[in-house]
Structure 1
Amino acid sequence: MRTTVPSVRTFVFICAFLLATSNTYSQSIFFGGKNEIGLALGPSFFLGDLGGHKGRDISDTRPGGLKHLNLPLTKLSKGLFVATYPNTWLGLRLGINHTVLEGDDALIPTVDQNDDAWFRKKRNLSFKTSALEGHLLAEILPLGFMEEFTEASLQPYLLAGVGVTKVNPKTLYNGEWIELKPLMLEGHGMEEFPERKSYSNIVPSLNVGAGFKYYFGRNKFAGLEVLHRSSKGPGADMIDGVSTNYIDPNLFDKYLSPKQADLANALYFREDELKNQNGSVLRIRPQVGEQRGDGGKEKDSWFTGIIRFGWVMPDPNSLESRQAKQMRCPTFY
């Protein structure tokens, strides 16, 4: 038989209400739940040897930066992330993203032979690859160091961490996408070039960035973020399949099957596919050792500018969760 005790129930409710209202705003906005999940969408941009703007010669040793950018090749980046915040100024984020990276010399704005970019324009190389990335990032929230701002809805942050990206560069030839790495176009893996080691399609990177997020209430947020990836390791400058210089094409017959050797001869140099106004080819063949890429002066990189949407997951051990439980009306049996 159930017996209710109104006076006890009312007393417990009043005590719990007063306790909750006196402490709700003493907790940081991050500690309504110590974990966050969300998704990220936005454009991605490749910065490498292929494509870019006019005005920069391939032999220029100055950092090219955004001069490598081809806006027509902007792609969509899609991602998911989870994050945990051990305190108000530090977060650890694990994320996965997918995008497409692409570069094309043919898209360099029209130039003439007096322009520094003429060499890259007539080189006429291109590539495209799917890029699946996983990363681990530290999220530094400067306002989290100042107690009076830990509850602020708008939170800027800095990012630093590491990532790994799976790529497989291909180029379009006679209507078919051809994988570049197996063709050894610059001698990687050949005994004649001991300094050019064979490399993996898994490319490590150092990631840095910045952004801000705005909290709607205590369990939702949205924000903007820019994250740059600097490739590292043996394949760091081969995401686009171009890095060093032209090798002796006779080596293709030594290391490749007849079919692959034919493809390599066609794809390691594509200037002869271009025509002058009179219909003649621009040039027949490059000299062995002639420059093909920037020689590794700048490693391939890419960056994203994304919109983030996320949710703060409730922490059952937090003060707020315990207070919410205490506010439930007790039932006596």
Structure 2
Amino acid sequence: MKSIIYQIALFILITFESNSQTPYSTWEAGFYGGECYYLGELNETHFLPFNISFGPRVRYNYDQRLGLKLALTYGEISGDDAKSNNSFKRDRNFSFKSQLFEASFVGEFNFIPYSVLDKKASLGTPFLFLGIGYTRHNPKTQFNGNWVNTNELKTEGVNFNKNIFSLPIGIGYKMRAKKFGFEFSWGIRKSNSDYLDDVSTNFANNSFENTLSNETNNTNTTEYENVSNIKRGDQYNKDWYVFTGLTILINLTPEEVCRKI
């Protein structure tokens, strides 16, 4: 996955290398707020469960078609087997929550020429984005009424990395009103980890870890008396997460500057 990230970063830089500015080059800064959810062993449903996400944004519009955005985003994800319609998941009876801290760098492509300052440009346009991300996560689960860090307890006998890389890709629609820009976006992230939810391979060997990683439904405890090395998740299907919401930006480039370029 690292080679893919390097290729994407190189492509973005080469795309914007030819000229540093055009008559439509502008800077914008703003703030995003919306929803965050994840897709993995404990959740396969888009947009649920609902968790918050927010963070600052800075965008450089190279011209009316291309832009670069730097974003810092905080989000929360969660999952609960007890809410699943799958009998195996209900018997597994695991739940988690985690905070995400993401820094991302993406390139944007506007389908219609768009500029906050050019009155002749379209008032709005759909757009695509693709980039790279670096995220810190820390899954926790409930045990004896308390939330505990799963990485410290090694519920699968693995000390996984809390820092991960991701590939953000998504769609959106942006529009302008005087010096302000508004955009709604949906962006999914493919991570290089299967431990956003702390469920990946098999049940742990340690007896205490078994208790924590397999708080099975009491009606099925006989079936799970010895769960060591029994399959718990799918390690070949990495976890995904999504940020979707509204961003409000303000133009930082004086109109006079654009006219002189």
Per the TM superposition, whether the score is higher than 0.5 is yes
Q: For residue 46 of structure 1, what is the aligned residue in structure 2? A: 38
Alignment of 1:38-117 (within 5 A): 38-50=30-42, 52=43, 67-69=44-46, 71=48, 73-109=49-85, 117=86
Q: For residue 112 of structure 1, what is the aligned residue in structure 2? A: none
**2:140 is the counterpart of 1:165:** no
Q: Which runs of 4+ in 1 moved over 4 A?
A: none
**Pairwise CA distance, 1:42:** 1.0
Q: For residue 221 of structure 1, what is the aligned residue in structure 2? A: 181
Contact map agreement 1:269 1:285 (CA 8 A) in 2:
no
Give the Cα separation in 1 of the matches to 2:230 and 2:45. 21
More helix by share: 1
Contact map agreement 1:155 1:212 (CA 8 A) in 2:
yes
**Pairwise CA distance, 1:308:** 1.3
**Pairwise CA distance, 1:246:** 2.1
TM-score normalised by the chain length of structure 2: 0.82
**2:214 is the counterpart of 1:285:** no
Q: For residue 298 of structure 1, what is the aligned residue in structure 2? A: 237
Give the Cα separation in 2 of the matches to 1:35 and 1:166. 28
Query: What is the RMSD of the two structures over their aligned residues, measured on CA atoms?
Result: 2.4
3-state SS of paired residue (1:182): helix
Contact map agreement 2:203 2:210 (CA 8 A) in 1:
no
3-state SS of paired residue (2:113): helix
Q: For residue 199 of structure 2, what is the aligned residue in structure 1? A: 242
Contact map agreement 1:162 1:206 (CA 8 A) in 2:
yes
Structure 1 stretches of 5 or more lacking a match?
1-29, 53-66, 110-116, 189-197, 251-261, 323-333
Give the Cα separation in 1 of the matches to 2:256 and 2:225. 70
Which string of whole-angstrom CA distances, capped at 9 and with x for unpartnered residues, describes residues 28-78 of structure 1? xx83x610111111111111111x3xxxxxxxxxxxxxx34472x211111
Give the Cα separation in 1 of the matches to 2:100 and 2:39. 14
Q: For residue 93 of structure 2, what is the aligned residue in structure 1? A: 124
Q: For residue 230 of structure 1, what is the aligned residue in structure 2? A: 190
Q: For residue 11 of structure 2, what is the aligned residue in structure 1? A: none
3-state SS of paired residue (2:223): coil
Give the Cα separation in 2 of the matches to 1:154 and 1:316. 19
Which string of whole-angstrom CA distances, capped at 9 and with x for unpartnered residues, describes residues 106-141 of structure 1? 1114xxxxxxx2111110011111111110010111
Contact map agreement 1:169 1:179 (CA 8 A) in 2:
yes
Give the Cα separation in 2 of the matches to 1:180 and 1:140. 40
% identical equivalent positions: 26
Q: For residue 269 of structure 1, what is the aligned residue in structure 2? A: 214
**Pairwise CA distance, 1:142:** 2.3
1:69–1:86 CA distance, 2 compared to 1 (3 A): closer
Give the Cα separation in 2 of the matches to 1:49 and 1:68. 11
More strand by share: 2
Give the Cα separation in 1 of the matches to 2:238 and 2:103. 19
Q: For residue 103 of structure 2, what is the aligned residue in structure 1? A: 134
Which residue identity is paired with 2:185?
E
Structure 2 stretches of 5 or more lacking a match?
1-22
Contact map agreement 2:170 2:188 (CA 8 A) in 1:
yes
Which string of whole-angstrom CA distances, capped at 9 and with x for unpartnered residues, describes residues 212-257 of structure 1? 111112x11212100101101xxx001111101124326xxxxxxx
Contact map agreement 1:157 1:212 (CA 8 A) in 2:
yes
Give the Cα separation in 2 of the matches to 1:211 and 1:282. 50
Contact map agreement 1:164 1:203 (CA 8 A) in 2:
yes
Contact map agreement 1:70 1:103 (CA 8 A) in 2:
no
